[in-house]
Amino acid sequence: MTATIDAGASERVLHDCRDAWVATLVELAEADDRVVAVVNDSVGSSKLGPFAERFPDRLVNVGIAEQDMVGVGAGLANGGKVPFVSAASCFLTARAMEQVKVDAAYSQHHMVLVGQSPGMAYGELGPTHHSIEDLAWLRTIPGLTVAAPCDPAETAQVLRWAAAHDGPVFVRVARMGVPDVVPEGYRFEPGKAVTLREGADVTLVATGIAVSRALDAADVLAAEGVDARVLSMPTVKPLDEAALVAAARETAGIVTVEEALTSGLGGAVAELLVTRQPAPMRFVGVPDTFAPTGSVQWLLEHFGITAAGIAAAARDLLGR
Amino acid sequence: MTVDEDLVPDVRPEAVPDDAFTVLGRAPGEAPRAQVVAHLTEAARLVRRRDIQMVRAAGLGHIGGEFSVIDILVTLYLAAMNVSPDQLGDPDRDRFILSKGHAAAALYTTLAMAGFLPPEQLGTFMQPMSQLNGHPARTKIAAVEASTGPLGHGLPIAVGTAFAGKLDGSARRTFVVVGDGELQEGSNWEALMTAGNHRLSHLCVIVDRNRLQQGARVADTNDLEPLADKLAAFGMDVVEVDGHDHGALLDAFADVPAASGRPTAVIAHTDKGHPISFMSDNVAWHHKVPSAEQVAQALAELENR
């Protein structure tokens, strides 16, 4: 599914990353008969129709039972399968947190936890269905890779990497429209930032759907004579320590940007830099609050997770 | 009844009697049944001897629930299951998951009795950096199929393992032991629904029905009855056995997979602390650590069985 928005002068195509998710899963399943999907009645919301049609036996639907879903995923891994456990991120992480901790991470099972429609994608449905906490929660769990890809190409790459990685991985899959971001020939590596734009004045570090917004903010800043570096951080855990330390050293400071509580990426970057290369920081994301009612677009504007909001944070950091 | 919560008494390792632990290994495959049962009986006696000394030495453990489950573990590892130390990489090996992970010392001791762990390693139980954590961890011990400890995890994992076996058309079976108190966790019933609806015939859920949980009787806390009816309603073939009768346990496990195509639930009626006179069916012995005198008495009682 695609849509367009007016991004200033040009119109650009926006993608639902779930399309890349299901296409990649089908591709992986064709190549490897160990690949199975585990869901909690979430075939529709995970857009798994094409997989269900193609591999009906390899779709394990446990019904509305998230603890069972993650435990069954771990058992399938024990039984030699490569399970992709897919559910709305709010339920996958919060309802089954102990299973994520114990059955996936502590047990070091080769399994992929796919958090669908994360952040505030379910806008008007409210904080019960938002998953603004997932990055902050999961980055504290040892042994778990936590990824938030920024566009369809990166989503596909993260999933392919996770399928081959002998350990547990959590992947956010965005439903909110995002433009293509990563360059041609890009190869995802966990803990490896992507420098999308060089800059010497300030660094914008973003993850997930916020990455394209950080790029837009850099355009806004450039028009004002501010030269912003843009780092895409596809994994909140592990972080790219070298890229962050270099950015903190080479620019005036760091603005983190995420569609999540700022204790996710922002907290992680701050924890790293405070010991390695202290630098002024600003945090763009959701502060310590549950979101009010509103569409996802409205909420992103409300919390300043927009080109204007990010640029304002950068100006504030620079004292301009 | 008052529950004694003294987790860590003054432990004096020198007061722990010398261990006499012989690795008996699997019961001979073609032996007459009486010989197999005698083998299991002796193995269970030695496992209990070692277990109580480990708990005494560590100053920690869950002796009551360990003594209730040992006959089940010994029967599985030394006779019923198709798994051996040199076969751990075989995808078609039978699987065992101890969902009531707090009975870890019983599992470790049984694994040593079956040759999966060097017996000397048992002396490290719960010591700093030991692989023998207070709850079993699959990343630390190759023979441990699933890391457990928090209750209500092992059964969903077992369902997944059995599901994978079904997808592969494998003959392997998955056995999981849950405590009866543990069945108060809702995740178990989610998993039982999945198992029943998908007719996971090679899954065997064993309930260690010792009727006691940490602080009180299960019946006085949040009762499970009618348990057999509930399990049957969730799609299990239910059998009830004396969980300390190795022969009865052997028969129950030999019937997996059931001809009906349904998963099996074995309600194993046990006593917490079995067969020690002062522990048996006594709620105080959930995680109480025995004194040197109590260890000596328990060993004497085991000697005379």
Beta bridge partners of A146: A170, A237
Pick from B150, B160, B191: CB nearest A98 = B150
CB-based contact B146 A81, cutoff 8 Å: no
Pick from A57, A74, A106: CB nearest B167 = A57
CB-based contact B161 A78, cutoff 8 Å: yes
> Would an 8 Å CB–CB cutoff place A284 in contact with chain B?
no
Q: How far is CA A294 from the centre of its chain?
A: 21
Residue B234 Cα, gap to closest chain A Cα (Å): 14
For residue range A212-265, list pLDDT tens digits in order: 999 999 999 999 999 999 999 999 999 999 999 999 999 999 999 999 999 999
- Please check whether the domain covering B13-303 is classified as CATH 3.40.50.970: yes
Domains detected in chain A:
2-173 (3.40.50.970), 194-318 (3.40.50.920)
Q: How far apart are CA B49 and CA B58, in angstroms?
A: 15
Q: How far apart are CA B168 and CA A34, in angstroms?
A: 9
For residue range B102-161, list pLDDT tens digits in order: 999 999 999 999 999 999 999 999 999 999 999 999 999 999 999 999 999 999 999 999
Q: How far apart are CA A263 and CA A148, in angstroms?
A: 15
Q: Is the pLDDT of residue A8 over 80?
A: no
From chain A, the residues in CB contact with B133 under 8 A are none
Strands of A165-315, DSSP E:
169-173, 194-197, 202-206, 228-232, 235-237, 254-261, 281-286
For residue range A73-130, list pLDDT tens digits in order: 999 999 999 999 999 999 999 999 999 999 999 999 999 999 999 999 999 999 999 9
From chain A, the residues in CB contact with B147 under 8 A are 102-103, 106-107
CB-based contact B161 A99, cutoff 8 Å: no
Please give the share of chain A, as a percent, with pLDDT higher than 70. 97
CA nearest to A206, candidates A184, A228, A185, A175: A228
Strands A2-7 and A10-15, how do they pair?
antiparallel
Q: Is the pLDDT of residue A162 over 90?
A: yes
CB-based contact B164 A80, cutoff 8 Å: yes
Residue reference for tokens 């690795």: B23
Taking CA–CA distances from A143, the nearest residue in chain B reads B139
For residue range B208-266, list pLDDT tens digits in order: 999 999 999 999 999 999 999 999 999 999 999 999 999 999 999 999 999 999 999 99
Q: In the structure encoding, which two tokens stand for residue A56, read together?
A: 């009906």
Q: How far apart are CA A148 and CA A155, in angstroms?
A: 8
For residue range A286-302, list pLDDT tens digits in order: 999 999 999 999 999 99
Residue reference for tokens 């570090």: A205
CA nearest to A46, candidates A78, A23, A29: A23
For residue range B55-89, list pLDDT tens digits in order: 999 999 999 999 999 999 999 999 999 999 999 99
Pick from B139, B157, B164: CB nearest A71 = B157
CA nearest to A73, candidates A109, A22, A117, A115: A109
